[in-house]
Amino acid sequence: MEEEKMSELILREKKQLLSKKKKKGFTLVELIAVIAILAILAAIIVPKVTGYTDKADRSKVQADAKTVLTAVQSYNADKGTDEQITKVDDASITKLSSAVAVPTYLKDKSVADLEKIAGGAEADFKVAKKGGIYTVTVTQ
């Protein structure tokens, strides 16, 4: 009788072990470890990606400034000294409208400012982007 109870007990324990092995999924510790690893990776990657987008914004503004500056220089060369454009305002934008579309963030910039932006020195201008709108500040 005792042997039957022992064999029954052994069978029951084997069934319990087998049923535990059949359960699939992750333990809480494993999930926390994965989340921690992902958080560390995100902390490393996000600042680098932000730096690339800042560089891209700066390059876009610089390219636009070069385009507008080239158009202004061409216009000034064609018109002579009487009608030269010295500042990108409403009047000069009207004069340039057939040659180039002037972005609003370059409006009210002088030719000297455009030259600084087009030159691209790190200290010459700053670009801020908020809600898809650029603001360009030229340092003097």
Distances (CA, A) of 92 to 51, 60, 75, 101, 121: 34, 22, 10, 11, 26
Give the C-alpha separation, 114 to 25, whole Å.
61
Contact (CB, 8 A) for 114 and 65: yes
Radius of gyration of the chain (CA): 34
* 40 — pLDDT class (breaks 50, 70, 90): very high
The pLDDT score that the predictor gives to residue 1 is 65
Q: What is the pLDDT of residues 51-68, one digit of tens each?
A: 888 888 888 888 888 888
E strand or H helix at 45, and its extent?
Answer: helix 28-79
3-state secondary structure of 128: strand
Amino acid letter, residue 18? L
pLDDT, mean over the chain? 82
For the residues 26-34, what does the mean pLDDT come to? 93
Evaluate if residue 17 carries a pLDDT over 90.
Answer: no
The pLDDT score that the predictor gives to residue 58 is 83
> How many other C-beta atoms are found inside a 10 Å radius of the C-beta of residue 113?
22
pTM of the full structure: 0.61
- Looking at residue 87, the DSSP 8-state letter turns out to be B
Q: What is the pLDDT of residues 81-118, one digit of tens each?
A: 777 888 888 888 887 776 678 888 888 888 888 888 88
